[in-house]
Amino acid sequence: MYQIKPYLLPFMKVTLADLDKVKLMNRSDSKFCMHIAQLPPVLEALSHDYSILEINGETIFNYDNTYFDTPDNQMYLSHQNGKRNRFKIRVRNYVESNLNFLEIKFKNNKGRTIKERIEKQEFIPEFTTSEQIFLENVSPYNGHQLVPKINSFFKRFTLVNNQFTERVTFDIFPGFRNQQKEITLNNLVIVEIKQSKSSDTALIIKVLQAQKINRNGFSKYCIGRSLLEDDIKKNNFKPLLLRIKKYYFN
């Protein structure tokens, strides 16, 4: 397993309060996938222009998620079939702080991601009355028609540029599980760049391109299910799935 922390030490540190300047709940997202061996030169190229989130002396944090869908997989199939104006619904646990949120992500037909969330008392796949109301107000779904489909888990560190206009997350050691199977991709790093304006070319995009790391969409929910389930429709994900199996499994 690669040691990441030494490459994070040169970064200046920021707090959660600092990150409030760049929440970007309505944003443009860009995702890149790379092998973890490519990570050190990328971090070295960014260390003077970005700072890293630090909480209680730590910079790498654990995340657990449960994704929900309808019994007939409406949200999964919307993405697989390339539909715009699609939703993802999950419960997220920030492990170290034991904070939980019910989150709804909406990808509109202009390619922007809009996220709404409310705090949840427990990390369980059930919805309270207030959570049911939230779901119905923010999405076309209600809690009675949603069932948990998969869990995803990963470690994350977060960078912010010195102008506080970009937030970049690096997800390492991503894994997925359902009731039958569990998979961890120890060699995969998922980079997500969040900007208020997609027209601005982030420095990190230039750094990634210089390392021949290309933009690549990656939905943890959809890819996780595609890896775990043999009989689910996955035609549109096959090029990425082949790449994952070739480069990112141990």
What backbone phi and psi angles, to 5 degrees, belong to 135?
-60, -45
Confidence of residue 17 (pLDDT cuts 50, 70, 90): confident
Instruction: Return d(Cα 66, Cα 14) in angstroms, integer.
Output: 28
pLDDT of residue 3: 84
- Pairing of the two strands 166-177 and 182-184: antiparallel
- Percent with pLDDT over 90 in the chain: 76
Q: Under 8 Å CB-to-CB from 109, ≥6 apart: which residues?
A: 84, 85
Considering only CA atoms, which of 200, 221, 237, 204 is closest in space to residue 27? 200
Model pLDDT, residue 201: 73
What one-letter code names the amino acid at 134?
F
Q: What is the pTM of this model?
A: 0.93
E strand residue ranges, the chain: 12-14, 26-35, 50-53, 61-69, 86-94, 99-107, 112-120, 147-161, 166-177, 182-184, 188-195
Question: What is residue 24's predicted lDDT score, i.e. its pLDDT?
Answer: 57
Kindly report the CATH number that applies to the domain delimited by 15-247. Answer: 3.20.100.30
User: What is the domain partition of the chain in residue ranges?
Assistant: 15-247
Q: How far apart are CA 225 and CA 235, in angstroms?
A: 13
Residue 113 confidence (pLDDT): 83
Helix ranges restricted to H, 30-128: 39-46, 74-80
Distance CA(153)–CA(176), nearest Å, equals 6
Q: Which tens digit of pLDDT belongs to each residue from 141-199?
A: 999 999 999 999 999 999 999 888 888 999 999 999 999 999 999 999 999 998 776 54
Q: Which of 57-66, 98-107, 141-150, 198-207 has the lowest mean pLDDT?
A: 198-207
pLDDT, position 163: 86
